[in-house]
């Protein structure tokens, strides 16, 4: 199936769609379009404005699909969804001033999660730069802290080389965002002799055989080994090698949110996600291990909690493509600056099975003692009331392995991390490091454009979806069969949970119920009414209020892969995410439920 991303005939009739014209001239904007085609770009997510119309005009005449979103933030998250789902460079285009600044959150999000995107902005003509012209902003200065490269191109002849350099930079080593800013007169200029260069990306030196042998020796001495793997495995495409290494060593594996899908969820060596809301057994394993093999991770605070207490009795081997991450948050025994594609070759060459039955038995006991589970109904009055976990588990049972799931940010995101059954890389797309609400729907649009034959579902929260619900219009415009599953509890749920736990239930500004209605009144008509909103954008939808309605509603949502659809599911209003390790605490402080905790666990309890 190939998506038809041309605009409707009615819009074409107005002259909004460019008609065939004479052969391209060599304006700067044409050089931008031609170079993007030459480096393999097939899709650009965009929003038009005065300072980028030259580029849009040129892009409409080459073999690039333009996807116009409803907001520039939708464009940058669309580019992210495209990049996260494929590993290829995602591209977005905005105008100057507010158009450019509306990209900044998505650019920072891409930097946090190491996503390769190219943000292109137009700007005012060079002779107006620095003079507070209409919609002028120094977007290069604004984005330098959150990009690998940010540059304004001041000479039209430099356009091809600048684009090639930016694309190579975004994809090299640890991937990330880059930005190029083109003043309008540079887009309009006609250079006589454009410069063009091919860029080869610098790569870390390969891991030496001596280092591989040293790691093998440390593993051979270990009684409690664990592999802690993250987004670097996904970015490098080495999930199969990770599985092979774990099997060769008979070593358990814990994954970060960014690493989910690297090891199939059904694999017996997978402990699950770790961190603040991760599986208890995964947190036990990394904290009670005597050797942690950290692969493509950055020791994020939501994973390690208190750095001094994290894995305090373990030798830590950290392999990463970004040398700056090694030892940054946690001192390590051995740091190795290497691309995982190269490192796995050495690791597998020297891998020897280490029989540690007592360690495996101990971890099985921890898993059985505190499995990830849905909260129990509080009383018989709650019979038939759905929890977020109920809904996500029911969806997971229906999805094929290749289905791509995006999420917003909040409780629903954590429940999805815990309870989806992910069997392939690049199938769980979530704002992990930056935690950007509104990410889910536009990221799903980007993934669906990239993978039109694959089911794409946005699991969203009512608060998070409110920030990007306008992108339903993009789904309708281009016939994108994105499914939006709303876990609707009428709260900013994670905010409310923290307010209850830390601020004595002072629920300031976190309720989403109708301010003119009694709290909790008329659960069948939530506020806002997402089904009605979806209908306003021409998208079909339905609402579920009781457990018995869910199976048929999910089947209806998934029935037509080409149809955008929204399913609004009302869930228990005050359900919390467990387990939870309070910020800055250790796995020994984990809370399993209301009034519950793990109890005192001595260091080295194994």
Q: Is position 72 annotated as part of the catalytic site?
A: yes
165 catalytically annotated: no
296 and 323 fall within a common domain:
yes
| Overall number of domains in the chain | 3
Instruction: Specify whether 446 is located in the same domain as 336.
Output: no
d(CA 595, CA 500) in angstroms, rounded, equals 12
Closest by CA to 407, choosing from 331, 454, 468, is 468
- 2 within domain boundaries: no
- Backbone torsions φ then ψ of 206, nearest 5 degrees: -65, 150
- Residue 443 and residue 562: Cα distance in Å, rounded? 17
Q: 362 and 450 share a domain? A: no
Model confidence at 383, pLDDT cuts 50, 70, 90, reads low
Does residue 134 carry a catalytic annotation?
Answer: yes
**Range name among 125-134, 209-218, 466-475 with the lowest pLDDT average:** 125-134
CATH of the domain at 428: 3.40.50.970
Report if residue 337 sits inside a domain.
Answer: yes
Are 76 and 138 in the same domain? yes
Q: Is residue 11 part of a domain?
A: no
Q: Say yes or no: 217 and 292 in one domain.
A: yes
Structure tokens at 522: 């008329």
| Helix, coil or strand: residue 241 | helix
pLDDT the model gives residue 13: 38
Residue 59: inside a domain:
yes
Cβ–Cβ under 8 Å, residues 369 and 463: no
Concatenate the DSSP letters of all residues of 298-347 into one string. Answer: ---HHHHSSTTTTTTTSEEEEEES-GGGTTTSS--SEEEE--HHHHHHHH
The catalytic position among 135, 549, 563, 606 is 135
Q: Decide if 271 is inside a domain.
A: yes
Q: Assign residue 217 the CATH number of its domain.
A: 3.40.50.1220
Q: How far is CA 392 from CA 262, 413, 414, 526, 569, in A?
A: 20, 10, 11, 20, 11
Question: Residues of the chain with pLDDT > 90: what percent?
Answer: 84
Q: Tell me the per-residue pLDDT of 212-238, one tens digit each, with 9 for 90 and over.
A: 999 999 999 999 999 999 999 999 999
Question: Is 153 within a domain?
Answer: yes
- Tell which of 339, 369, 399 closes a domain: 369
Cα-to-chain-centroid distance, residue 274: 17
Mean pLDDT to the nearest integer, 68-78: 98
Chain centroid to CA 60: 29
Catalytic choice (27, 148, 184, 315): 184
- Domain check: are 406 and 489 in the same one? yes
Tell me how far apart the alpha carbons of residues 63 and 56 are, in angstroms, rounded to a whole number.
Answer: 13
277 and 410 housed in the same domain: no
| Mean pLDDT value across the chain | 91
Residues 217 and 172 reside in one and the same domain: no
Domain assignment present for residue 601? The answer is no
Q: How many CB atoms lie within 10 A of CB 286?
A: 25
Model pTM above 0.95 = no
pLDDT of residue 421 exceeding 80, the answer is yes
Q: How many CB atoms lie within 10 A of CB 330?
A: 20
DSSP state of 563: S
Look at residues 573, 170, 225 and name the one whose alpha carbon lies nearest to residue 388: 573
Judge whether 239 lies within some domain.
yes
Catalytic member of 27, 54, 70, 72: 72
pLDDT at 605 over 70: no
Nearest to 27 by CA among 65, 57, 66: 57
> 206 pLDDT band (50/70/90 cuts)?
confident
What is the reported pLDDT for 398? 97
One domain, residues 83 and 156: yes
The angle at the Cα of 409, spanning 407 to 413, to the nearest 5 degrees, equals 60
**Alpha-carbon gap, residue 27 to 8, rounded angstroms:** 29
Q: What is the pLDDT of residue 1?
A: 44
Placement of tokens 């409803």 in the chain: 70
Cβ neighbours for 138, distance < 8 A, ≥ 6 positions apart: none
Distance CA(209)–CA(255), nearest Å, equals: 26
Among the three residues 142, 159, 188, which one is the final residue of a domain in this structure?
188
Quick check: bond before 553 cis, omega within 30?
A: no
Clarify whether residues 176 and 213 are in a common domain. no
Contact residues for 331 (Cβ-Cβ < 8 A; gap 6+): 316
Which member of 55, 276, 414, 494 is catalytic? 494
CA 175 to chain centre: 13
- What local confidence, expressed as pLDDT, does residue 599 receive? 55
184 flagged as catalytic = yes
Q: Are 206 and 270 in contact (CB under 8 A)?
A: no
Domain that holds residue 437: 388-570
Contact 79, 116 (CB under 8 A): no
Tens digit of pLDDT for each residue in 271-303? 999 999 999 999 999 999 999 999 999 999 999
Query: Are 411 and 514 part of one and the same domain?
Result: yes
User: Which regions of 110-164 does DSSP assign to beta strands (E)?
Assistant: 117-123, 149-152
Q: Do 214 and 267 share a domain, yes or no?
A: yes
> How far, in Å, are 417, 568, 598 from residue 594 at the CA level?
21, 27, 12
Among 369, 397, 413, residue at a domain's last position: 369
List C-alpha distances in Å: 345 to 208, 243, 293, 320: 10, 13, 15, 14
């Amino acid at each position: 199936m190939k998506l038809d991303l041309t605009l409707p005939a009615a819009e074409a009739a107005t002259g909004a769609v460019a008609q065939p014209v004479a052969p391209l001239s060599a304006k700067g904007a044409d050089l931008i379009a031609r170079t993007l085609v030459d480096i393999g770009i097939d899709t650009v997510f965009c929003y038009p404005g005065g300072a980028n119309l030259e580029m849009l005009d040129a892009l409409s005449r080459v073999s690039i699909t333009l996807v116009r979103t409803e907001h520039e933030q939708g464009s940058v998250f669309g580019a992210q969804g495209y990049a996260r789902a494929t590993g290829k460079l995602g591209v977005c285009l905005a105008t100057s001033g507010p158009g450019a600044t509306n990209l900044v959150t998505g650019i920072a999000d891409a930097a946090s999660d190491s996503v390769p995107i190219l943000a292109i902005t137009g700007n005012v003509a060079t002779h107006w730069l620095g003079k507070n012209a209409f919609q002028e902003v120094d977007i290069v200065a604004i984005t330098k802290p959150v990009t690998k490269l940010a540059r304004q191109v001041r000479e039209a002849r430099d356009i091809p080389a600048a684009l090639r350099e930016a694309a190579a930079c975004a994809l090299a080593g640890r991937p990330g965002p880059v930005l190029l800013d083109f003043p309008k007169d540079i887009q309009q200029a006609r250079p006589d002799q454009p410069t063009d260069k091919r860029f080869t990306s610098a790569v870390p030196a390969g891991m030496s055989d001596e280092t591989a042998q040293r790691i093998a020796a440390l593993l051979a001495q270990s009684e409690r080994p664990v592999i802690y793997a993250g987004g670097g495995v996904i970015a490098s495409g080495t999930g199969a090698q990770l599985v092979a290494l774990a099997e060769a060593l008979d070593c358990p594996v814990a994954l970060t949110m960014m690493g989910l899908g690297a090891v199939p969820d059904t694999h017996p060596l997978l402990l699950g996600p770790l961190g603040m809301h991760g599986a208890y057994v995964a947190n036990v394993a990394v904290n009670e291990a005597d050797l942690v093999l950290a692969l493509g991770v950055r020791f994020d605070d939501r994973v390690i909690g208190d750095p001094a207490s994290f894995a305090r009795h373990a030798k830590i081997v950290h392999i990463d493509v970004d040398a700056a991450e090694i030892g940054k948050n946690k001192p390590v025994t051995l740091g190795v600056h290497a691309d995982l594609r190269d490192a796995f070759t050495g690791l597998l060459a020297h891998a020897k099975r280490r029989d540690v039955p007592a360690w495996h038995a101990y971890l099985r006991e921890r898993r059985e003692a505190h499995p990830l589970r849905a909260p129990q109904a509080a009383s018989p009055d709650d019979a038939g009331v759905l929890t977020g976990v109920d809904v996500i588990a029911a969806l997971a049972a229906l999805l094929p392995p290749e289905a791509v799931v995006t999420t917003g940010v909040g409780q629903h995101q954590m429940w999805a991390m815990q309870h989806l059954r992910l069997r392939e890389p690049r199938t769980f797309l979530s704002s992990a490091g930056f935690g950007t609400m509104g990410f889910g729907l536009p990221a799903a649009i980007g993934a669906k454009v990239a993978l039109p034959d694959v089911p794409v579902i946005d699991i969203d929260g009512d608060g998070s979806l409110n920030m990007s619900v306008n992108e339903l219009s993009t789904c309708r415009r281009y016939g994108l069969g994105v499914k939006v599953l709303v876990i609707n509890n009428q709260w900013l749920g994670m905010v409310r949970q923290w307010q209850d736990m830390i601020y004595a239930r002072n629920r300031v500004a976190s309720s989403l119920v109708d301010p003119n209605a009694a709290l909790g009144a008329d659960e069948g008509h939530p506020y806002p009414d997402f089904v009605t909103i979806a209908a306003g954008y021409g998208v079909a939808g339905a609402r579920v209020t009781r457990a018995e309605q869910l199976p048929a509603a999910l089947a209806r949502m998934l029935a037509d892969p080409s149809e955008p659809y929204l399913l609004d599911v009302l869930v228990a209003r005050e359900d919390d995410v467990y387990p939870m390790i309070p910020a800055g605490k250790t796995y020994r402080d984990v809370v399993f439920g209301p009034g519950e905790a793990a109890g005192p666990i001595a260091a080295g309890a194994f």
